[in-house]
Structure 1
Amino acid sequence: MTDLTKTFEYLHQLLAWRLSLLVNPANSSLNRPTPPLYEAAADAPFAQFLVQTQPNEEELVYLSMALVPHLQPSFFDELIGEYAPNRGELPEFGGVRGTNHRGLLPTGETVLFVLAGTSLTQRQRLLPLFSSDHPFAYHKMLTLGEVPVGEPRLSGRLILDPEYVELFTTGHVSTPALSPGFPAQHLRTELAWSDLVLPPGTLAQIRDLENWVHHNETLRGEWGLGARLKPGYRALFYGPPGTGKTMTASLLGKHTSRDVFRIDLSLVVSKYIGETEKNLGGLFDKAQSKNWILFFDEADALFSKRTDTRDAHDRYANQEVAFLLQKIEEFDGLVILASNLKSNLDPAFARRFQAMIHFPMPTAAERLALWQKTLPPNVPLAADVALETLAARYELSGAAILNIVQFVALRALARQAQLLTLEDVMDGIRLEYQKEGKLL
């Protein structure tokens, strides 16, 4: 891409100029290269970013130096070999070797050397570039790697967030996949709001969540409530299994153009002290400023009531809950917790929810609507299948009705029949009742 080509050419000229001064101070008369001009274009994602964010020269160099090893692994080694072949390890230059990467990786010391040379005054002036308050670090975009205790912090290598590497080099960012490092699964749905069958009161509260997603920035900015309101929005979905909590979260994402991630608590909760907090911290850090919706399904496993402190296990469990409270309150997006029973959750969480939305078992009328929406439209029912009777007589959740319809449809396909029979429907209902320990 032309934006990266001219960026790396400028960086090459700047490093060559600085190394020339190091090798021979008489070269001080050489003109320092100036940054290129950028214009936003569809095929130039790096230029688009620069035009939008308007970094200064120091920030441009810092960012470019973190990016270049991902495309030109030998960039720094070739420069040193060309302009300072007899200077040994060049401690002024900084840099480290990676485990797998064979080229030199730049560090904070490398950035200072390129921008300030050996000038102590100029180096001190540039230190805020690496502060945790700088936008690069604050938004987890560009940071310094950890260093052993006692070693200078700026000897940490430059770490550019992989999502920005992908954005700058390909023009798009892939959806994160479920993994131990990212314990969340992307939720998608092909359904629409019209497929959701819920009581009017529940639907109204869901519309309120949708309103927050659409208008939060205006509320905090133009309407001036940003200083008074905490960031983000927290909602509790509670009710029996199969009543539409996950489907609602997916639809919220679909109709607000937000990615929804369901947190896999089996990958979050750890028996090792401190690991649960580490996993949660990494998840929230990655989600920050992404406009994601985080959906904690079966949240009781992690958000349950804190216990009296009787031993070390209780103390660490309570610390996990306290840490989670903190991360949820700091998160700037929508967090949804789903639970079968509202009473299972710690009261400290309840006070922090802006919305607590009940998903009850469907009424007879709602069950009839679910049967009608779920049955395949092109396959007829046997004459003795009365949906009104089924809906009135058998208390089933939406998920259970879906399971029954799938069961009946597969039975019909196995018989090569184009008819859904009452016998199969009753067998499906019987199986769902058995799952719940009920008799038909």
Structure 2
Amino acid sequence: MTHLLNVQTLENALNYLAKIIEWRMEYYFGRDESVKAPIPHLPDDWLSAETPLTSFIRKHKLDTAEQLTLLMAIAPHLQPDFFDRLITANLPQAGDYPQIGGWRGKAHRGFLPTGETVLFMLGGDRFAERLRLQQMFSEEHPFARDRVIYLDSPAEGEPMMSGKLVMLQDYVELFTQGRFSRPHFSINFPAQRITTEMEWEDLVLNAQTLQQIHELEAWITHGPTILYDWNMKKKLKLGYRALFYGPPGTGKTLTASLLGKYTGKDVYKIDISMVVSKFIGETEKNLANLFARAESKDWILFFDEADALFGKRTNVRDAHDKYANQEVSYLLQRIENYDGLVILSSNLKSNIDEAFIRRFQSIIQFPIPNVKERSQLWQMAFPSQIKLAESVDLPKLSAAYELTGSDILNIVQHCCLQALQRGDVVIHHEDILDAIKRELNKAGKIM
């Protein structure tokens, strides 16, 4: 998508919306029978342009009224005086016109649309049509389901359609700038984007694990084709759930990062400590904020050390157990309804509640690397600037010490620092043994 094409599409869309508003105002207030024709249509080829706005419309098969509602929501973000200019030019005289709806913000002084504005511009005074149009603001509609636009809740006792028509900032940026903005790490979004400069070739795993990972990569790449182009959306759940389990340092986080890198998806690692709360209902609230922000963004959510959130439910002995089990039930429902990829990571498969296990499409084990794999990891770990002394026997080290890829990288880092402190670039057998001892002591193991 070129920036110029997107600008042209938005300009055409606003010109089209302006014609609709002028058409409605002229007919309603002028009662000119000559303009009682059906709502004008955009040129047939306008949706052929490849822009975020047109792609969204095609994907959800939005009809004319839905397209116009989308345009009304975004118009003030593009032209602050858009509605004022059109409405005042067509009003017969100054005064209050409640049928048009609208409101004015504190900082923004221009006319901003409400649900009543949508009903008036698209339905006029046709009662049945106005009732039909209200269905666009139901929870089942793509607007609400994907959190694109919604009606803000009006004051108690006031009509629902008097609520403000709001487009979420994420979609304002998508439709105008061509991309979703990346969220900042906060209590409302307790996750950080993770990336890697490594490649698939740097990931050393057994053949079965690698095959399962590439099957997962295939779903990320081709899932939309199966769901939408092959019309399997009504038979399959939109999202995908995977469990990575195995000891620390075996490549679970790296794999999640590589999946994002090679499929063009952002990967967000959830900070479990900020999600879990001792206060009743707070954990669910934190998760609701997280999933709501991630919905329909094509992000990969990675829950590392997921046992704290997705652990086994207990027998109910007191109120605390009852609410803890409710949290697990809520999680179960929420990850099932998420339309993207959710990866849970755990040291042990048995730590995860069976209710989640049954709903994973992929369960992938990351075992401790075997001798051959450890040898490969040792060979790849040292930088090219380093020289190994003749006493260093990497195959022997591979056979003697059961280490993970993360362990080996930590050992190599320590050895490199030791060599630089000595003022040379040679690593000796004793350097590696000393580093191995330090690494094993960290894990409480004896060499």
Q: Is the 8 A contact 2:227 2:238 kept in 1?
A: no
**2:173 counterpart of 1:166:** yes
**2:287 counterpart of 1:280:** yes
Report Cα offsets for 1:52-111 as digits up to 9, x if no partner: 666433222211110011122233344445444964443222223335444332111111
User: In structure 2, how many angstroms separate the alpha carbons of the residues matched to 1:184 and 1:99?
Assistant: 32
Alignment counterpart, residue 179 of structure 1, candidates 151, 169, 186: 186
Find the counterpart in structure 2 of residue 152 from structure 1: 159
Alignment counterpart, residue 401 of structure 2, candidates 385, 391, 394: 394
Q: Is the 8 A contact 2:190 2:290 kept in 1?
A: yes
Q: Is the 8 A contact 1:2 1:44 kept in 2?
A: no
Find the counterpart in structure 2 of residue 358 from structure 1: 365
Closer/same/farther in 2, CA of residues 388 and 147 from structure 1, 3 Å limit:
same
Find the counterpart in structure 2 of residue 237 from structure 1: 244
Find the counterpart in structure 2 of residue 9 from structure 1: 15
Q: Is the 8 A contact 1:192 1:251 kept in 2?
A: yes
User: In structure 1, how many angstroms separate the alpha carbons of the residues matched to 2:50 and 2:230?
Assistant: 36
Number of aligned residue pairs: give it: 439
Q: Which amino acid in structure 2 is aligned with residue 375 of structure 1?
A: F
Q: Which runs of 5+ in 2 are unaligned?
A: 1-6
| Deviates further, 331-340 or 238-247 | 331-340
User: In structure 1, how many angstroms separate the alpha carbons of the residues matched to 2:135 and 2:273?
Assistant: 40
Find the counterpart in structure 2 of residue 192 from structure 1: 199
Q: Which amino acid in structure 2 is aligned with residue 232 of structure 1?
A: G
User: In structure 1, how many angstroms separate the alpha carbons of the residues matched to 2:218 and 2:56?
Assistant: 29
**2:96 counterpart of 1:96:** no
| Deviates further, 58-67 or 48-57 | 48-57
Counterparts in 2 of 1:33-182, with a 5 A limit?
Answer: 34-37=40-43, 38-39=45-46, 45-47=52-54, 49-50=56-57, 55-84=62-91, 87-182=94-189
Counterparts in 2 of 1:242-391, with a 5 A limit?
Answer: 242-391=249-398
Find the counterpart in structure 1 of residue 427 from structure 2: 420
| Deviates further, 220-229 or 120-129 | 220-229
User: Counterpart of 1:417 in 2: which secondary structure?
Assistant: coil
Q: CA RMSD in A?
A: 3.1
Q: Which amino acid in structure 2 is aligned with residue 309 of structure 1?
A: V
Q: Which amino acid in structure 2 is aligned with residue 34 of structure 1?
A: P
Q: Which amino acid in structure 1 is aligned with residue 72 of structure 2?
A: M
User: Counterpart of 2:410 in 1: which secondary structure?
Assistant: helix
Q: Which amino acid in structure 1 is aligned with residue 269 of structure 2?
A: R
User: In structure 2, how many angstroms separate the alpha carbons of the residues matched to 1:62 and 1:291?
Assistant: 24
Give the superposition deviation at 1:214: 4.5
Q: Is the 8 A contact 1:66 1:160 kept in 2?
A: yes
User: Counterpart of 2:269 in 1: which secondary structure?
Assistant: strand
Closer/same/farther in 2, CA of residues 96 and 272 from structure 1, 3 Å limit:
farther
User: In structure 2, how many angstroms separate the alpha carbons of the residues matched to 1:17 and 1:227?
Assistant: 39
Closer/same/farther in 2, CA of residues 327 and 47 from structure 1, 3 Å limit:
closer
Give the superposition deviation at 1:248: 1.5
Q: Is the 8 A contact 1:234 1:352 kept in 2?
A: yes
Give the superposition deviation at 1:243: 0.9
Closer/same/farther in 2, CA of residues 266 and 412 from structure 1, 3 Å limit:
same
Q: Is the 8 A contact 2:245 2:366 kept in 1?
A: yes
Q: Which amino acid in structure 1 is aligned with residue 197 of structure 2?
A: E
Q: Is the 8 A contact 2:313 2:324 kept in 1?
A: yes
User: In structure 2, how many angstroms separate the alpha carbons of the residues matched to 1:230 and 1:41?
Assistant: 29
Find the counterpart in structure 1 of residue 212 from structure 2: 205
Closer/same/farther in 2, CA of residues 311 and 376 from structure 1, 3 Å limit:
same
User: In structure 1, how many angstroms separate the alpha carbons of the residues matched to 2:151 and 2:278?
Assistant: 30
Q: TM-score, normalised by structure 2?
A: 0.86
Q: Is the 8 A contact 2:240 2:339 kept in 1?
A: yes
Closer/same/farther in 2, CA of residues 274 and 56 from structure 1, 3 Å limit:
same
Closer/same/farther in 2, CA of residues 229 and 7 from structure 1, 3 Å limit:
closer
Q: Aligned residues: percent identity?
A: 51
User: Counterpart of 1:206 in 2: which secondary structure?
Assistant: helix
Closer/same/farther in 2, CA of residues 317 and 90 from structure 1, 3 Å limit:
farther
User: In structure 2, how many angstroms separate the alpha carbons of the residues matched to 1:188 and 1:402?
Assistant: 18
**2:443 counterpart of 1:436:** yes
Give the superposition deviation at 1:40: 5.5
Q: Is the 8 A contact 1:177 1:186 kept in 2?
A: no
Report Cα offsets for 1:102-151 as digits up to 9, x if no partner: 43321111111112233433322322232333333333222222334433
User: In structure 1, how many angstroms separate the alpha carbons of the residues matched to 2:42 and 2:190?
Assistant: 41
